[in-house]
A and B are shown apart, each in its own frame.
Chain A
């Protein structure tokens, strides 16, 4: 199975800060990497697919990059509504696997 490791597991930042989350795959996955935002009591929201493509309606303050085994999610200017846990996920092969999550606190 492909293990997905996110870092940090949590972070605290201020409104307006640039925030970067890293996701590493235990083996190469090309660009078959997605990012999701999860708020308590809400359904997950798809942010990015194919490592760097924004889903429709996702604000441009979110961006993704990387390929192979190392990927990043960046929030260019953190806002209070971005308080959430962020997950990466590989869909290169089954079983599909998620990272452990990064909790972003304001």
Chain B
């Protein structure tokens, strides 16, 4: 059974930093691209960042580019999201997502339960 367990969410002041982790199990982590998706209170789902199976080719939403860094440690089956210069609008539940392939394209498949990041003074 695929399991994705996020951690690291916390209350942080504007301008602060935080690192989220996602511990994966139940599949061969190093074979799959991974992503982060967030949902701000009362809002819809927003894609944040994606990374390929080897850790290269990261992509970011414009709203986080230059402030967030996605990475992974395949030896530890763990995905990370380093967040810096946090803003009030970064307040959200952050979900770790495993991607799966169909017809040469990768789509979102399994989701973690999420970790809450609150940016407030």
Contacts and interface: CB of A to CB of B under 8 A. Distances in A.
A32 B101 CA distance: 11
Given A49-B102, A49-B107, A43 B50 contact: no
Contact of A95 (B45, B59, B95): B59
Contacts of A91: 105-108
A17 to B, nearest CB: 24
Interface residues of B, number: 25
Contacts of B39: 38
A78 B47 CA distance: 29
Contact of A44 (B102, B106, B107, B111): B111
Contacts of B105: 32, 50, 91-92
A34 interface: yes
Interface stretch (A18-26, A60-68, A69-77, A96-104): A96-104
Contacts of B45: 36, 38, 44, 87, 89, 98, 101
A94 B100 CA distance: 16
A30 to B, nearest CB: 9
B87 to A, nearest CB: 18
Contacts of A92: 105
B95 A89 contact: no
A46 interface: yes
Contact of B103 (A36, A44, A50): A50
A34 B113 contact: no
Interface of B: 35, 37, 39, 44-47, 50, 59, 61-62, 95, 100, 102-103, 105-114
Interface of A: 32, 34, 36, 38, 43-46, 49-50, 53, 55, 85, 87, 89, 91-92, 94-101
12 contacts: A34-B107, A34-B108, A43-B114, A45-B111, A53-B102, A87-B44, A95-B59, A95-B61, A96-B35, A98-B46, A99-B44, A101-B44
